[in-house]
Amino acid sequence: MATDPAELGRRLRDGDRSAAAAALNVIENRGERDATRALLSEVSPAALEREPPAHVIGITGPPGAGKSSLLSVLVSEWRNRQRTVAVLAVDPSSKRSGGSLLGDRARIDHDPRDDGVLIRSTAAGGRLGGLAAATREAAEALAPAFDVVVVETVGVGQSDTDVEDVCDTVAVVVQPASGDVLQFLKAGIMEVPDLLVVTKADLGDAAKRSRRDLTHALAAVGSPEVPVLAVSSVPSPSGIGELVDALDAHRDGTDLAERRVRARRGAALREFTAEHGERALRDLGGRREAERLLERQDPAAGVTALVSALEAAR
């Protein structure tokens, strides 16, 4: 039975979470842009006539920082507070290695019979913003049907994911004594997040020192107001209730409508330019065909000459 994308969109708009998995399949199938458009037009902010109700939260940080363990306990805290949660776990490494990391890495624990929770892993897409667009669209589609939508990504603020474009609140998760994150923050290479979370608080002094160092680094980059929290997921969770409260406080203290409008405008500009770049490649018969065309050129040709050859072939 074929599923009508617009129908899926309407069901999500009306809060029917059982439409979520099928909707994500439509969105992830990047070949069927019309189906995605039909689906999203039903759940878009205009159709809802209000901002989407979910709080969209980005959880990002280097691999090994403990994001999956943290999300396992965060999801149960939200469920204890009677909130429904969707987690979109994005894996940027698959772009480079060809395979996905997600098989190897820690899973997010949850009760599979609980229909108030959806966990979805997404391999990264193409180079030109495909990932960012699919993630944004997935979050947009799920927003009317869940109380919280989490976008989990790996990175230190340089990722192609542009998690800032998608999320109302961005939390960067680091483990104690992760010096690079501190350096990236101080050097202005890493975007200042809305919230910093130091994991493995059970390590005691190391977590305390990291928390202090990060607080100083944030003051040094002119953002002393960013909260730095210390949490522990295993063996026994601590600081999780405080983290949920801090996420809520950021949401309540932010003009979300304005932030979302700005984010959508930025995303539209980026999608427009990426799309035109891809269109130029399609005019050549696709990326593979363009590569073949380049291989037929003089091996000594410089980049400028190769670009001219591509232009001539359009």
Report 168-227 residues binding a copy of itself (CB under 8 A): 175, 177-181, 183-184, 186-189, 191
CB of 219 to a copy of itself, least distance (A): 16
CB of 309 to a copy of itself, least distance (A): 8
- By CB under 8 A, is residue 71 in contact with a copy of itself? no
Interface residues for a copy of itself in 130-169 (CB under 8 A)?
133, 136-137, 140, 154-156, 158-159
Interface residues for a copy of itself in 259-278 (CB under 8 A)?
261, 264-265, 267-269, 271-278
Choose between 6 and 177: whose C-beta lies nearer to a copy of itself: 177
Choices 75-83, 205-213, 239-247, 293-301; region in contact with a copy of itself by CB under 8 A: 293-301
Instruction: Convert residues 96-125 into a mask of x (bound to a copy of itself by CB under 8 A) and - (unbound).
Output: xx---x---x--------------------
- By CB under 8 A, is residue 290 in contact with a copy of itself? yes
Q: How far apart are CA 74 and CA 180, in angstroms?
A: 26
Choose between 57 and 139: whose C-beta lies nearer to a copy of itself: 139
Nearest partner of 70 among 226, 244, 294, judged by Cα = 244
CB of 207 to a copy of itself, least distance (A): 14
CB of 314 to a copy of itself, least distance (A): 9
Choose between 3 and 93: whose C-beta lies nearer to a copy of itself: 93
CB of 310 to a copy of itself, least distance (A): 5
- By CB under 8 A, is residue 30 in contact with a copy of itself? no
- By CB under 8 A, is residue 253 in contact with a copy of itself? no
Choices 78-86, 199-207, 228-236, 280-288; region in contact with a copy of itself by CB under 8 A: 280-288
Q: How far apart are CA 283 and CA 279, in angstroms?
A: 6
HEC string of the chain? Answer: CCCCHHHHHHHHHCCCHHHHHHHHHHHHCCCCHHHHHHHHHHHCHHHHCCCCCCEEEEEEECCCCCHHHHHHHHHHHHHHCCCCEEEEEEECCHHHHCCCCCCCCCCCCCCCCCCCEEEEEEECCCCCCHHHHHHHHHHHHHCCCCCEEEEEEECCCCCCCCHHHHCCEEEEEECCCCHHHHHHHHCCCCCCCCEEEECCHHHCHHHHHHHHHHHHHHHHCCCCCCCEEECECCCCCECHHHHHHHHHHHHHCCCHHHHHHHHHHHHHHHHHHHHHHHHHHHHCCCHHHHHHHHHCCCCCCCHHHHHHHHHHHC
- By CB under 8 A, is residue 280 in contact with a copy of itself? yes
Nearest partner of 69 among 149, 138, 147, 152, judged by Cα = 152
- By CB under 8 A, is residue 298 in contact with a copy of itself? yes
Decide if 220 contacts 196 (C-beta within 8 A): no
Task: For residue 201, report the phi and psi dihedrals to the nearest 5 degrees.
Answer: -60, -20
In the set 40, 86, 170, 229, which binds a copy of itself (CB under 8 A)? Answer: 40
CB of 102 to a copy of itself, least distance (A): 11
CB of 58 to a copy of itself, least distance (A): 17
Choose between 2 and 46: whose C-beta lies nearer to a copy of itself: 46
- By CB under 8 A, is residue 292 in contact with a copy of itself? no
